[in-house]
Structure 1
Amino acid sequence: MDLTWLWILIGIVAAIAVIIVIWYIVAYNNFIKMKNSIEEAFATIDVYLKKRFDLIPNLVETVKGYAAHERGTLDEVTAARNSVANSSTTEERLANENILSGTLRSLFAVAEAYPDLKANTNFLDLQNQLNMVETDLANARKYYNANVRMFNTKLETFPTRLIAKKFNFTKQPMYEVENAAERENVKVQF
Structure 2
Amino acid sequence: MVWGIIIGVVIVIIVVWLIAIYNQLVRLRENVRNAMGQIAAQIESRWDALTNLMQATEKYQTYESQTFEKIVNARQNVSERSDVADVNADEQQFNRVLGVVNALAEQYPDLKASHVYQQTMTAVDEFENKVRLSRMVYNDSVTKLNRSIQVFPNFMIAGSMGFNQEKYFENTPGKQEMPQWEKSE
TM-score (norm 2): 0.75
Q: Work out which of the residue numbers 140, 151, 165 in structure 2 matches 1:146.
A: 140
Alpha-carbon displacement from aligned partner over 1:120-167 (angstroms, at most 9, x marks no partner): 001111111111111111111211121112112222232111221221
Inter-partner Cα distance in structure 2 for 1:184 and 1:139? 14
Distance 2:59 2:102 in 1: 16
Distance 1:109 1:176 in 2: 26
Aligned partners of 1:164 and 1:170 also within 8 Å: yes
**Structure 2 equivalent of residue 24 of structure 1:** 18
Name the structure 2 match of 1:165: 159
Q: Which residue of 1 aligns with 2:99?
A: 106
Report what 2:74 is aligned to: 82
Question: Rg: which structure is higher?
Answer: 1
- 1:56 is matched with 50
42-51 or 57-66, larger mean C-alpha shift: 57-66
How does the TM-score come out when normalised to structure 1? 0.73
The answer (yes or no) to whether the contact 1:80–1:103 under 8 Å persists in 2 is no
8 Å contact from structure 2 (residues 68, 97) kept in 1 = no
Structure 2 CA distance for aligned equivalents of residues 79 and 183 of structure 1: 20
Indicate the SS of the match to 1:175: coil
Using a 3 Å threshold, how does the CA distance of structure 1 residues 41 and 30 change in structure 2: closer, same or farther?
same
Aligned to 2:181: none
Displacement after TM superposition at 1:112 (Å):
4.1
Which residue of structure 2 lines up, in the alignment, with residue 129 of structure 1? Answer: 123
- CA positional deviation for 1:174: 2.3
Relative to structure 1, the CA distance from residue 184 to residue 94 in structure 2 (aligned partners, 3 Å threshold; closer, same or farther) is closer
Tell me the SS of whatever aligns to 1:85. coil
Query: What does the per-residue CA deviation read over 1:34-55, in whole Å, with 9 as the maximum and x for residues that have no partner?
Result: 1111121122222222212222
Q: CA RMSD in A?
A: 3.4
Structure 2 Cα separation of the partners of residues 159 and 143 of structure 1: 26
Which whole-Å deviations, capped at 9, do the CAs of 1:69-114 have from their partners, x for residues lacking one? 873x972674266222399953552232221342244135312454
| Structure 1: runs of 5 or more not aligned | 1-5
Residues matched between the structures, number: 177
With over 3 angstroms needed to count, the CA separation of the structure-2 counterparts of 1:26 and 1:133, relative to structure 1, is: same
